[in-house]
Each structure stands twice: as C-alpha cells, then as structure tokens.
Amino acid sequence: MDRVALRGLRARGYHGVFPREREEGQTFVVDLSLGLDTRAAAADDDLTRTVHYGEVAEAVVALVEGEPVALIETLAQRIADACLAHPAVDEAEVTVHKPEAPISVPFEDVTITIKRSRG
C-alpha cells in the first residue's frame, strides 16, 4: 500500500473537558498517513484517481475548528472518518497533538494516534 502523508496541520480548536479549554481554545496539530494504491493515478497522471491532499487538509482543519468535543480521541476518529470518505483512501493513520493540554507538570506534547481502515 502506498502512503500519502500530511504533517503538522495546525488549527485552533475548542476541544477539551475543562471549561477554560472550551472558552479560550488552543492550537491542535494533526499528522496524517493515508494508505491507498496510487498506481492508476501515476499511470494516467490523473489527480482524480488518487486523493487530493489539499482537500484533505482543508477538511481536517475544518474539523479541528468546528464542533468542540471533550476528547482528542473523538476528534481523531472524526478525522479518520473524513479521510476514509475519500474513495481512493483505504487506510488512515491519524495523530492529534495537544501541545497546550492542561497538565500541571512540564511536558512537551500529548498525542493520540489511531489507525482505521475500510471494512
């Protein structure tokens, strides 16, 4: 399976369990790795036979900026579902970073990574 990857998609969202997160928002970062067969697209040099990563990026940012959820697990699932809605995509690995998570000790990042496939 071939891979199309997008790394470091950034958007401001209002996801979280705590009221402050819902009111003030924070930056979320998303990494994607999409599994698909690109042979037909490459043979015909045809964008319609692969996934348009620009459209995927816009959809992911819209989800991060959209309806708030309590858990980044839920956000990651919504992103994976949106990726799998593209006919060419057979598999999606999604990592959601929450670098401004409300944690009382020094830390660099909090992430959730999920891998979903058709069927």
- For the cut 90, the answer to whether the pLDDT of residue 119 exceeds it is no
Give the pLDDT confidence of 43-58 residue by residue, as tens digits: 999 999 999 999 999 9
Give the domain ranges of the chain: 2-117
Report whether 101 contacts 107 (CB < 8 A): yes
Helix extents (H) in the chain: 19-24, 39-44, 53-65, 72-84
**pTM score, two decimals?**
0.96
Report whether 84 contacts 104 (CB < 8 A): no
* Given 44, 67, 98, 105, the catalytic residue: 98
115 is catalytic: no
CATH number of 2-117: 3.30.1130.10
- Please report the pLDDT score of residue 26 as a whole number: 98
* Residue 23 binned pLDDT confidence (cut-offs 50, 70, 90): very high
